[in-house]
Amino acid sequence: MTTTQTDLAFEIRDLTVAFGKGPAAITPLRSLDLTVPRGQFLCILGPSGQGKSTLLRCMAGLQSPTSGSVLAEGTEVTGPDANLGMVFQQDAIPLWLRVGDNISFGPRMRGVAKSEWEPRVRHFIEAVGLAGRERAWPKELSGGMRKRVAIGAVFANDPDILLMDEPFGSLDYFTKATLHDTLLDLWAETGKTIVFVTHDVDEALKLADRIIVVTDGRVGADIPLDFARPRGDDLRMDVTADAIRRDLLEVLQAPAKVQS
Q: pLDDT (tens digit, 9 = 90+) per residue, 150-195?
A: 999 999 999 999 999 999 988 888 999 999 999 999 999 999 999 9
Segment 41-51 shows an average pLDDT of: 89
Q: What was the pLDDT predicted at 6?
A: 74
In the chain, CATH 3.40.50.300 covers: 1-83+159-260
Task: Report the CATH fold assignment for 1-83+159-260.
Answer: Rossmann fold (3.40.50)
Peptide bond connecting 47 to the previous residue in cis, omega within 30 degrees of 0: no
- Of all residues in the chain, the percent with pLDDT exceeding 70 is 96
Dist CA 260 CA 252 (whole Å): 20
CB of 213 closer than 8 Å to CB of 43: no
Residue 260 pLDDT grade (very low, low, confident, very high; cuts 50, 70, 90): very low
Q: Which of 43, 36, 38 is nearest to 208 (CA)?
A: 43
Q: Compute the distance between CA of residue 175 and CA of residue 162 in angstroms, rounded to an integer.
A: 21
